[in-house]
Amino acid sequence: MSQPAQPAINAATRLCAVYGSPIAHSASPAMHNAAFAALGLDWRYLAFEVDPKNLRTAILGAKAMGFAGLNLTVPHKLLAVDMVDALDDSAKKWGAVNTIKFEAGPDGKIRAFGFNTDAEGLAVSLEQDLDIELAGSQVLLLGAGGAGRTAALKFAEAGVEELFLVNRTASKAEEIAVEISERYAHVKVAVGYPKTKIDLLVNATSLGLKPDDASPLDGKYFSFAQTRAVYDMIYRPAETKLLAAAKAAGCKTANGLGMLLWQGARAFVIWTGKPAPVDVMRRALEQNIYGH
C-alpha cells in the first residue's frame, strides 16, 4: 500500500522533538516520523541533546517557537515536573513528565501541558505482548530507580494482588513499598523475593544493557519455574541474558520495545488528536533498532 504524500518541510510544518542526554541512539524520531508520514501529516519529529541545566530554557524555546510537543527522556523526566505550566493527572500521579503538549490554556495563552505515558505504555505492552492482566496478579519487580518506581506504582494502581520489590539498594525498594502502602492500601507489597509461584517478573534495572552485565535476578532466591512470564524493559539487545534464560526455562517473554511503542503511541494521540498507526510505528522501531 502506498503511503500518503508528506509535504516537504515548509513554514506551516508542525514540529515535535525529544530532549535527552545522551540522545544519539533514540529511536523515537524514526517511530514518530514514520507515523506522521503514514497519516500524510505535515509534521516532523527531531531529537536534541539537552543538558539538564538547559532544560527549562529548551522547553521555553520550543514553546516560543510554536512546537506542537516534546518528549523527555533520561535525565529530564523528574526535573520537568517543575518546568511545565500544568500537569495532567498522569504526570501528577507518577511525579514525572515524558510528554509535553503545547496548547492554548484557559487564558488563551500557549502553555506547556505535561503528561506521563510511560506507565500506560508498560501496562498495554504487558497485556498485548504477554497476555498479562495486572489486576489480581502476583508480580516480582527488579529495580527501584525512575523506571522501577513508575512501574511499581502503576502495578499497584492496576490492582495487582501482591507485589514483590527487589533492588540492589534495598532502601529504595523500601521507600516505594511505603509509598504504595500509603497510596494503595489494598495491595500487598513486600521487599524481597517471593517463595511461591507468581504470574510475572519484570526487570526495570539497567542490568543487561551491556553483554557482560550480571543477571538482575539472584538465582539463589528465585527460579524461573516460579513465574509464568518475564518482561525486560531493556530492548537493546533484543534478547537479554535474562530473557534468553527465561525462554529456555519455558516462560513467556517480551522485551521493552512494546513499552517504547505504546508510550509513543499515546504521545502521538495527545499531540495530533488522531489514532496512532501502531503497526507502522512498530515496524519503524524494529528497523531502527534491529536493522530489520
Residues known to be catalytic: 77
Q: What is the dihedral of CA 192, 198, 204, 207, to 10 degrees?
A: 80
259: contact with ligand ATR by CB under 6 A: no
Q: How far apart (Å, rounded) are the C-alpha atoms in residues 66 and 62?
A: 6
Smallest distance from the beta carbon of 251 to ligand ATR, in angstroms? 21
**Cβ nearer to ligand ATR, comparing 33 with 99:** 99
Q: How far apart (Å, rounded) are the C-alpha atoms in residues 63 and 70?
A: 10
Contacts of 215 (CB under 8 A, 6+ apart): 207, 208, 241, 242, 245
Smallest distance from the beta carbon of 87 to ligand ATR, in angstroms? 19
- Which residue from 20, 114, 143, 256 is in contact with ligand ATR, where contact means CB under 6 A? 143
Smallest distance from the beta carbon of 106 to ligand ATR, in angstroms? 33
- Which residue from 18, 59, 80, 144 is in contact with ligand ATR, where contact means CB under 6 A? 144
Taking CB under 6 A as the binding criterion, the range among 128-136, 154-162, 168-176, 262-270 that sits at the site for ligand ATR is: 168-176
- Which residue from 3, 57, 169, 223 is in contact with ligand ATR, where contact means CB under 6 A? 169
Site map 89..128 versus ligand ATR, x via CB under 6 A: ----------------------------------------
Cell 533514540 belongs to residue: 26
215: contact with ligand ATR by CB under 6 A: no
- Which residue from 78, 103, 110, 145 is in contact with ligand ATR, where contact means CB under 6 A? 145
- Which residue from 172, 247, 252, 283 is in contact with ligand ATR, where contact means CB under 6 A? 172
Q: Give the distance from CA 230 to its chain's centroid.
A: 17
Smallest distance from the beta carbon of 35 to ligand ATR, in angstroms? 25
153: contact with ligand ATR by CB under 6 A: no
The residues of the shown chain that bind ligand ATR, judged by CB under 6 A, are: 74, 143-148, 167-169, 172, 204-207
